[in-house]
Amino acid sequence: MADAANRPLTRASVLEAHERIKPYIHLTPVVTSQTLSDLASTLHPATATVPHPSSPRITLFFKCENYQKIGAFKARGAFHALSRLTAGELEAGVITHSSGNHAQALALAARTRGVPAHIVMPRISTPSKIAATRGYGAHVHFSGSTAPEREACVARVRAEEGGPVLVPPYDHPDVLLGQGTMAIEFEQQVKEMLAAERESSIDGFGWRSRQAQRAQRAQRAGGSERGAGSEGLDAVVAPCGGGGMLSGIATALAGTGIAVFGAEPQFEGADDLCRGLKEGKRVESVKTLTIADGLRTPVGKIPWSIISDKSKVRGAYSVTEEEIKAAMRLVFERMKVVVEPSGAVALAVVLFNEDFRQLVEREAGDDGWNIGVIFSGGNTTMEAIAKLYEPSENIGERAEGKVGIDGEKVAENVAG
């Protein structure tokens, strides 16, 4: 992957990546929910129960990466990274360290391409994720949970196995370009959905009503008026852990006029992106037991170089654990869709973060905004969901930072 450092991080590169991985990934669906769009337009952000009408109409579109292969968006980056390897590199195989979705994604991509895969997983990894990674044919090697322990294990396995190529979870150009392909699809899918509505007799997205309002204002003003909210997406909100997906989306949508925002949990300093943007410096370590376990990682160096550019990412917002749970419950009960806690964080920001909601009110005007929300993954279990919503004997220890939602011991995550 020696030439990856010189790969331009541009929309054109994301489009090229999309062509490369199309045969290997699902075109995940975009779905809507009238109920959730109504809640986003009227919900009181503090209590989640008191109606609080906002001036803009928010129409939500959900990109369901929980329906992607392996149940998460990570398959995109893994398949693209492998597509860039030379014949010699493929023969040597690939290696990574991951406790979750990237482990499964690289294992599947390697099996699909007939490539050996070595995955270093912390011993405390969720058993279902270990089983899934093995099920895709990868050789699983166990390590301690800290970043130095994982990296030492990777170095040892590489030496023993003839130097398989390291494919990082997020801090790599080919990985983030692959993740950005979801935005290319998302942008086009919403345009097609809105175009189809204009040809129908149904005003499900409120397009006709907004057009009528604009026409009335234009008539009163004695001229023409064209606002946002009818032709396609106005904004995309995506979860951010290591930043591979958010930076990929920002790269894909650069120059399109679609605003991009990051979403994070607040718990125990998990909002490292928000803090880093405020301080003007990347936060290099995170120690948190947020229920959004896929977002416990600090933003990587390469993703940070993109995300910190305000012309590409407008900002980032964070939410509480209870707000994540509330959003996750709404998705399940109202949409009949299962997402993991990390996958519900973007919706939680749209529903509950007061600063984000005020920004929409200021900028959307009377025409409203079409907001794209990323459901990044759905890899959870019935047992994990039960622990999330029922009283737990570990709740005191979790509050003290001793154990996590699955009972695992906390470890510090350090960006590479």
Active-site amino acid positions: 74, 99
Cα-Cα-Cα-Cα torsion 313, 314, 320, 325, nearest 10 degrees, comes to -70
Neighbours of 132 (CB within 10 A): 20
The token pair that represents 235 in the structure block: 């904004």
Distance CA 250, CA 254 (A): 6
* 325 phi and psi angles, rounded to 5 deg: -65, -40
d(CA 410, CA 326): 24
Q: What single string gives the DSSP state of each residue in 260-282? A: EEEEEE-GGG--HHHHHHHHTS-
> What are the C-alpha distances in Å from 243 to residues 104, 105, 106, 179, 303?
18, 17, 18, 10, 5
Find residue 120's DSSP bridge partners. 97, 141
Cβ atoms within 10 A of the Cβ of 11, count?
17
- Per this entry, what is the length of the chain? 416
